[in-house]
């Protein structure tokens, strides 16, 4: 598959009488977006607010962030199986609005929603402080069940992002990037002397608001399978997660997976990037055994020499991570795992809930239990009602001064296990 990504840099976003895109300036009519949100009668009210980098603005509780984009000259549509028909994506031309995100905010769906600060020390922990957030503050109808509210908010965000993304359909991109993965035999023959590398993409699927969707299907119901990397870049995978904010893969993360982009950058130079194996993170042991067996079997079947494995979440999924790594290693295939740590506030506890000597090469996104003091902000988008109870918060997190003391677990994207975060390591 060959995919062209046409990037259109958004210089600014303002509220106006018309929703339009001109010369990199996006104007938004609030009522246009509110009407789209309220197409779902499960939602009682909505508001649209903008948050820009450097502002003393706090957004919480955040559920998802979605990058607006659209297919160009294609029968396929963005977010197939959810917003568009279940048509194959990953090829043709897609236009992307860079520098903005549609951010869903509102009364808490699950206790693992997050915080985005647009300035201060919290902003240094999240990549979303660097983009303009088009915030949809959404309130449910009375007594709406939590799972139904999650679905309504998820779909509202995707509908709005699609509406905005279509404004870029006729715009000439600032830059066009091309990504291509050929059918397996052809791919192998093109670079026969380079090591064959694949990517095992673990998707959060523990249920109870811990879900990820592939072409509209809840990934807990799949067995591991192969995808072209370009399918991921083109909206085949979306987030339905209310997992800890620090290592949640939002839809924005899936669309801009840095592991896939980095592997493409090295493809044909020092590696042959063969493709992506998607797998789930299930709850029961038998399901974990089945999925890890399939994952290692696929890695062997397509002849990989090395594999990068990324995780989402922590605790129970640590077992899936170690099972995948050890079984693939036993096939004679080198593995590197990408994860984060829950090592206690002092960093002295065991980082993962599971371990094995064969899983001996790891990249970490940081210790999610590290604490941080977030200063008071001049403006709030959403509500502070849940700061004490979100994952990473505790009784007394919200202080009378307006400051918030939390673990960085509460900050959206702080320790993201795709490496899509702002922290790094240094030698001492």
Q: How does DSSP assign 357-422, residue by residue? A: TT---EEEEEETT-EEEEPP-SEEEE-STTTTTSBTB-TT-B-TTS-EEEEGGGBTTTT-TTS-SS
Mean pLDDT of all residues in 245-264: 97
pLDDT at 427: 59
**pLDDT value, residue 111:** 86
Alpha carbon distance 79, 215 (integer Å): 7
- Average pLDDT for residues 184-213, to the nearest whole number? 94
Yes or no: say if 368 and 91 are a contact pair by the CB < 8 Å rule.
no
**pLDDT of amino acid 323:** 97
Percent of the chain with pLDDT over 90: 93
Q: Is the pLDDT of residue 14 over 60?
A: yes
Residue 198 tokens read as 């694949």
Distance of CA 255 to the CA centre of its chain: 7
8-state DSSP, 245:
G
The SS3 call for residue 289 is helix
Q: How far apart (Å, rounded) are the C-alpha atoms in residues 274 and 292?
A: 19
HSE, side-chain direction, 13 A CA sphere, residue 404: 29
Confidence label for 425 from pLDDT (cuts 50, 70 and 90): low
Distance CA(351)–CA(221), nearest Å, equals: 29
Annotated catalytic residue 135: no
CB-CB neighbours of 394 under 10 Å: 14
pLDDT score of 428 more than 90:
no
The dihedral sign for the CA sequence 146, 149, 155, 157:
negative
**CA nearest to 311, candidates 303, 319, 301:** 319
The predicted model scores a pTM of: 0.96
In this structure, are residues 277 and 295 in contact, taking their beta carbons and an 8 Å threshold?
A: yes
- Please give the torsion angle defined by the CA atoms of residues 204, 210, 214 and 216, in that order, rounded to the nearest 10 degrees: 180
The pLDDT score that the predictor gives to residue 419 is 92
**Which whole-number Å values give the CA distances from 371 to 91, 125, 338, in the listed order?**
43, 12, 22
Render pLDDT for 52-104 as a digit per residue (tens, 0 to 9). 999 999 999 999 999 999 999 878 899 999 999 999 999 999 999 999 999 99
Name the DSSP class of 423.
Answer: -
Q: Is 304 in contact with 276 (CB distance < 8 Å)? A: no
Task: Find the mean pLDDT for residues 400-415.
Answer: 96
Torsion over CA: 14, 15, 16, 20 (sign): positive
List phi, psi (to 5°) of 167: -65, -20
The DSSP-derived string for 190-204 is HSTTSPEEEEEEEEE
405 - beta bridge partners? 373
| Structure confidence by residue, pLDDT tens digits, 307-365 | 999 999 999 999 999 999 999 999 999 999 999 999 999 988 988 989 999 999 999 99
By the 8 A CB rule, do 253 and 416 touch? yes
Please compute Rg for the chain using Cα positions: 21
Tokens of 301: 């079947």
C-alpha distances in Å from residue 342, one per residue of 244, 280, 372: 11, 21, 15
Catalytic residue among 70, 135, 242, 246: 242
- CA atoms of 265 and 260, how far apart (whole Å): 9
């Amino acid at each position: 598959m060959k995919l062209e990504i046409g990037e259109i840099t958004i210089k600014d976003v303002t509220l106006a009488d018309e929703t339009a895109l001109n010369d990199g300036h996006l104007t938004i009519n609030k009522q246009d977006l509110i009407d789209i949100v309220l197409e779902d009668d499960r939602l009682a009210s909505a508001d649209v607010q903008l948050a820009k980098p450097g502002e003393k603005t706090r957004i919480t509780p955040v559920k998802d962030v979605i990058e607006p984009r659209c297919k160009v000259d294609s029968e396929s549509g963005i977010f197939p199986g959810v917003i568009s028909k279940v048509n194959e994506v990953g090829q043709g031309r897609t236009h992307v609005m860079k520098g903005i995100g549609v951010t869903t905010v509102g009364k808490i769906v699950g206790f693992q929603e997050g915080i985005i600060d647009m300035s201060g020390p919290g902003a240094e922990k999240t990549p979303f402080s660097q983009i303009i957030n088009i915030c949809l503050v959404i309130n449910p109808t009375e007594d709406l069940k939590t799972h139904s509210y999650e679905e309504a908010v998820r779909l509202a965000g995707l509908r709005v992002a699609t509406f905005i993304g279509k404004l870029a359909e006729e715009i000439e991109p600032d830059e066009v990037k091309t990504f291509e993965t050929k059918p397996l035999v052809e791919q192998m023959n093109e670079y026969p002397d380079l090591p064959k590398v694949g990517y095992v993409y673990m998707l959060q699927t523990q249920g109870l608001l811990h879900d990820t969707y592939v072409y509209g299907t809840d990934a807990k119901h799949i067995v591991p399978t192969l995808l072209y990397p370009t399918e991921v870049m083109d909206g085949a995978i979306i987030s339905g997660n209310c997992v800890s904010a620090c290592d949640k893969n939002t839809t924005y993360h899936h669309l801009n997976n840095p592991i896939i982009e980095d592997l493409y950058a090295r493809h044909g130079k020092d590696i042959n990037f063969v493709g992506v194996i998607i797998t789930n993170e299930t709850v029961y042991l038998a399901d974990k055994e089945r999925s890890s067996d399939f994952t290692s079997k696929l890695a062997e079947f397509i002849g990989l020499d090395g594999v990068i494995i990324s995780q989402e979440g922590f605790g129970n999924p640590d077992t899936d991570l170690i099972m995948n790594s050890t079984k693939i290693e036993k096939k004679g295939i080198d593995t590197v795992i990408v994860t984060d740590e829950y090592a206690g506030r002092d960093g002295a506890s065991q980082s993962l809930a599971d371990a094995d000597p064969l899983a001996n090469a790891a990249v970490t996104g940081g210790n999610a239990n590290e604490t941080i003091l977030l200063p008071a902000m001049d403006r709030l988008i959403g509500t502070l009602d849940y700061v004490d109870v979100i994952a990473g918060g505790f009784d007394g997190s919200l202080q009378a001064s307006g400051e918030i003391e939390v673990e960085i677990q509460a900050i959206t994207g702080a320790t993201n296990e795709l490496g899509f975060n702002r922290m790094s390591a240094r030698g001492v």
